Structure 1
Amino acid sequence: MVIQEQRRHKPNQLIRAIGNCGSGVGSRIGGHMRVGGKWHRRVAQRHGVSLIVNEHRTSMTCPFCGSCIMHPKKKGGRLNLGTSACINGSCPSVKISMNTFGRDSLAATCIALRGFGQLAGHPTL
């Protein structure tokens, strides 16, 4: 009885989009040497619904226009890998001069958009 109550759909339930990288799928390394696994999915499923999202190129894609981004250079000429900037002239973020994103927040936003695309039936978002 308690298990059935826990499995019911709750209103306003949290939906998490989790990247599939590091889950150990398709790895040739076996046994205790393999890092990752199902622990992240299990923890997320305790608190709500979790979507497994392909996170390929999420840190290299602009969430507004979908084009490739570039890393700006520092004063010394080296690349700043913690920051990403969209250079597409027709992108809405470039038009309002807010085209610079942090690496982690950019990847999290793109993973969330792909999760929404899976729910809406558009896996290419």
Structure 2
Amino acid sequence: MKKFDKLGKSLIGAATVTCMLFAAGMTGVPYYGSSFVAKSKVSKSYKATKKIIADEAKRIALSHAGVGSARFKKAKLDYENGVRVYEIEFKVGNLEYEYDINVSNGAIVSSSVEVDD
């Protein structure tokens, strides 16, 4: 009878632990080492808020203008027709360039070049 009592207690203990682990897994409670859940939430959040930075906007403008380097006068955030843009202004020689670059996707919203006297 003693052996049965020890075996019975062990089975009840194992069943209790199994139920607790199952319940924790069903409720979505993260546990140590559950980085998969955290990564998927972070990556969705990152994709939703991905934006270019001012240096990328400068590179896009320089590339479009066909120049390698310039003296930048302005690189600031602004809104153009309800779209968040970087206003980029730079000078190369006697030419002054102005660009509006979409913050969300890096597209050129507007561009102009003028001869500076």
TM-score (structure 1 length as normaliser): 0.28
Say which one has the larger Rg.
Answer: 2
TM-score (structure 2 length as normaliser): 0.29
Which protein has greater RCO, CA pairs closer than 8 Å, 6+ apart?
1
Normalized per residue, the structure richer in helix is: 2
Normalized per residue, the structure richer in strand is: 2
